[in-house]
Chains A and B, each alone.
Chain A
């Protein structure tokens, strides 16, 4: 696959007003090691660290690390045109949904030609969410957002006395894995999924001791139904599976495998070049911030 014909993965970040979406965006931008284009509603909130900013031009801010930030002042399509015109073009899009948007509606755009949906992350203010779920004005909006999530990021869980109860109440609405965080600080390997993988590199350790990863490498084609069945049977703690395989119904092609939360997608990944296939698993080992988990284990 070359950059020019690769599908650009799109991550949608949703969540109600004040949940910490822009904090999460800033965290992603600061730690990005690929060219990410972030589409936001309003530059006003994003407050990018001035040291990171390379140049600003109208609706676009360029960062020194190759990322850009683009305002959706002309709507999603306008912003998409702007970022696609960048050279070199971005490797990933991260779209911030407004605080009252149904993230599913935004994710709909990720099915446009040239794009592929990576996942929908919904940020939750663990302190405020019980109140929000009782508020007649927004209860249904917050529930809809929770249901739209592939991954849930629970901010401010540390402020909540009865955090388990909050988790249970969210869990009754959404099956998505819940990842607790302070200021949205979660490893990018967890937040962002599909990527153009370095073919020979084994997954490195995730820089957050709550998570573990392992990978599997194999040369032979796999059966589509068996693969799907196996991936769907992964325990809830496996928050992501990503990689590429050869399927026995199309062994000359690579198929990109992408599972985030409950959602599994198989998409075409170009011709097979003879090298081994690989799947990477990311597992949540502990819901809390304590360092009680083992680091990377190789099971593959």
Chain B
């Protein structure tokens, strides 16, 4: 007795160059039996025909190789970001495009809160789009003078507290912690800059940490993936793989048949992970070898070398930053001493793991690429697929060397839309901004690459991310670096088999072909037929993961 279902479609785009399109796909036991005509598939024997996708377009499930589980946790708090954004239940929250709009939104939320002792915590504020305006305590005091309020900015480097939160946190005119900003009268104005100052608001942080670790976060994370077509999402270094409780919590969530995505967990020395690279590598190898769950994957290590470009904390090469704020340092921050990177990479490399290193700036990328070269000299090894994550300023020469070394790239294309204007005008200037997130260069130099959202930094959704790489249109509507645009077909390659390859999953997923997992993105329109400028607007019916269909939440 076999259990075969044939799904006819408007078109199946397989991303298998040997068989690029088909009329239908047959699924058996959670895997692709074959693609072809209905007649060809029927010849496999007993089957049922399921017509529900007959007018849809089926693609390989999208592979998102750089996100964080807090993407699902942040929605336990109200969103006050600039752009409209859908939550994991499909509800679209309007963007707040001015300080007044933020205050208005907070008043509305406050009026609906029942427990008077509960603090109001909001997230996503991005004042980079509101030049000249600053959110301070007096704005938030107009929302409430009694309820503690804490607004966490999108950058992660700044928060604003109201007077009630400051009172609860003992922040006064006597507080000398740098980063507690004071007005002309010496009173704290509510702005808390950088971790030392922000951590004074312990009440807010405790709640944020609980939310991120919750089961609800794991489900919201996968639901957001389902809503936008991802079938595998990578929590890149936020989970502690050395903590059995955290692994058990993931095991519990993903082994539920209703859990709508596969998750890859990276080991990391950050966020309380094991810091000794040899020990971390041993833990990563051990957890991978014991894993029997098809929806939970391991095998990669995340390192973070530098900060962010829009925060002027990425390590960029000379001539450094273009138009930095007054008082800013010449260059960004190292999170790992550059001299220590080669030994760290070597430890993971020797253990057979793949290292994914966050390198926003080109100086950071150079250190990582050189470290991979050192590791290879010490310990020759093929198909390691070590990956530069973000790759925002990676140069042509760096891509060439990455190709020589067998490395991959995961390019942060969403930046082009969300911060492209700021990169041109402030961070790196017009010339370097034109070659940021250079998919065309990576492709020309023969690098296997994918693209990403880094959700919750930007919203998850690979059609939007592909749209960014294809069109390179900024938030103000200008094209940034037209010569780095790629074709829709190349973008589809990047978000499917490109992602699978760098995670070493391409033998199982990333294309629709006989023997691979039945992981699909099911779309309302054919991305190869639409105007590339509307790629992001294609409706997503949902996904199929291991032969099980998961319908996206209705947008509301």
Contact = CB atoms under 8 A, between A and B. Distances in A.
Interface stretch (A108-116, A160-168, A169-177, A275-283): A108-116
Interface in A91-109: 98-100, 102, 104-105, 108-109
B196 A137 contact: no
B194 A16 contact: no
Interface residues of B, number: 32
A74 B178 CA distance: 21
B199 A76 contact: yes
B19 interface: no
B276 A42 contact: yes
A141 interface: yes
Nearest to B176: A111
A123 to B, nearest CB: 14
B337 interface: yes
A220 interface: no
B369 to A, nearest CB: 13
B155 interface: no
A99 B340 contact: yes
Given A105-B194, A112-B177, A140-B329, A77 B339 contact: no
A23 interface: no
Contact of A16 (B177, B179, B315, B337): B337
Interface in A129-180: 136-138, 140-141, 144
Interface in A57-83: 73-77
Contacts of B331: 140
B335 interface: yes
**Contact residues of B: prevailing secondary structure:** loop
B440 interface: no
B363 A113 contact: no
Contact of A111 (B178, B272, B276, B337): B178
Nearest to B331: A140
Interface in B337-379: 337-340, 363, 367
B175 interface: yes
B272 A108 contact: no
A237 B339 CA distance: 34
Contacts of B195: 75-76, 105
A298 to B, nearest CB: 36
A17 B339 contact: yes
A94 B292 CA distance: 45
Contacts of B175: 111, 113
Given A108-B194, A137-B338, A138-B338, A77 B176 contact: no
A261 B334 CA distance: 27
B483 interface: no
B335 A112 contact: no
A141 B338 CA distance: 11
Contacts of A16: 337
A74 B272 contact: yes
B333 interface: yes
A44 interface: yes
A10 to B, nearest CB: 12
A144 B196 contact: no
A269 to B, nearest CB: 16
A204 interface: no
A41 interface: yes
A88 interface: no
A108 B367 contact: no
9 A-B pairs closest in CB distance = A108-B196, A17-B337, A100-B334, A111-B176, A111-B177, A108-B178, A42-B275, A99-B337, A137-B338
